[in-house]
Amino acid sequence: MISVSVLNAFRTLPILVLSRIISAGRALVVLVPTLYLHYIKPARLFKKDASMSMPEHVLRIADLPANHATEIELTPTPQERQAIAQELDLSALKKLTFTGRMSPVAGSDWQLTGHFGATIVQPCSVTLDPVTTRIDEEIRRTFTRHMPDVPDSANAEIEMPDDDTLEPLTDRIDVFAFILEALTLAIPPFPRKEGAETGQAVFTEPGKQAMRDEDARPFAGLSNLRDQLKNNEK
């Protein structure tokens, strides 16, 4: 004969199973939106399109002629310019061209020389209005397998080489990487629209007169007095 306790256990079993299912469902209700907001949605938002990839122009050293220079002319596509603008935090990159050459030099070294021009658009650091800047820069890099030795000790003094254009020579060289490096260094850090002024911010305690920029110049009054005396002598 089945005891009463066993019967009660069987009677309560469906209720326990149902409560576990409900608890699991509540956990899923909380977990699924969390996973979507923190992992799925950002991955979809920041997934790079193939048409927005950064440009490359890779030269294989083994394929380059060793007795004369290889001419290079590069102009990125509109999609590549847009990708560069996003990477460098620009409002727009209207133009970018590079004309140069990769030349063999003494020994087994190679030298990249050329000129790039770019037209960029940035927000004004004062008014946020668009500011257009023209950039023209020369590029020169010497690729060598005989780079200066770097001391192993962290406390050792490191002497900078006389030629700061030296780069380690590898089997493959991406020319665009050096163009983008030069462009990054040439971008104005604080672009300002013509006529835009930051103004003067004045802070002081209530009831006191604030000190302005001209008050912080102790000889400004003496300079004005000197000018007046010179005018009187005339």
pLDDT at 30: 40
Identify whether residues 145 and 30 lie together within a single domain. no
Q: What is the pLDDT of residues 73-101, one digit of tens each?
A: 999 999 999 999 999 999 999 999 999 99
Residue after which a domain boundary falls, among 47, 69, 84 = 47
Identify whether residues 180 and 73 lie together within a single domain. yes
Distance CA 213, CA 21 (A): 71
Q: What is the pLDDT of residues 128-141, one digit of tens each?
A: 999 999 999 999 99
Identify whether residues 71 and 181 lie together within a single domain. yes
Question: Cβ contacts of residue 121 below 8 Å, gap of 6+?
Answer: 90, 91, 92, 93, 94, 130, 131, 132, 133
Q: What is the pLDDT of residues 152-206, one digit of tens each?
A: 656 656 555 567 889 999 999 999 999 999 999 999 999 998 877 766 555 566 6
Look at residue 121 and tell me if it is in a domain: yes
Look at residue 109 and tell me if it is in a domain: yes
Identify whether residues 137 and 180 lie together within a single domain. yes
Identify whether residues 129 and 31 lie together within a single domain. no
Q: What is the pLDDT of residues 3-18, one digit of tens each?
A: 555 445 445 555 555 4
Look at residue 118 and tell me if it is in a domain: yes
Q: What is the pLDDT of residues 223-233, one digit of tens each?
A: 666 776 666 66
Identify whether residues 69 and 43 lie together within a single domain. no
Nearest to 141 by CA among 115, 161, 109, 165: 165
- Considering its fold, how many domains does the chain have in total? 2
Identify whether residues 56 and 139 lie together within a single domain. yes
Question: Cβ contacts of residue 212 below 8 Å, gap of 6+?
Answer: 200, 202
Identify whether residues 88 and 174 lie together within a single domain. yes
pLDDT at 194: 84
Look at residue 85 and tell me if it is in a domain: yes
Q: Domain span at residue 10?
A: 1-47
Q: What is the mean pLDDT of residues 210-217?
A: 58
Kindly report whether the global pTM for this prediction surpasses the value 0.75: no
Look at residue 59 and tell me if it is in a domain: yes
Identify whether residues 78 and 182 lie together within a single domain. yes
Look at residue 213 and tell me if it is in a domain: no
Q: What is the pLDDT of residues 23-68, one digit of tens each?
A: 555 544 444 444 433 444 344 334 445 456 899 999 999 999 999 9
Identify whether residues 109 and 181 lie together within a single domain. yes
Look at residue 218 and tell me if it is in a domain: no
Identify whether residues 78 and 176 lie together within a single domain. yes
Q: What mean pLDDT is reported for the chain?
A: 77
- Least confident segment among 108-122, 163-177, 200-214: 200-214
Identify whether residues 33 and 68 lie together within a single domain. no
Task: Decide if 93 contacts 180 (C-beta within 8 A).
Answer: no
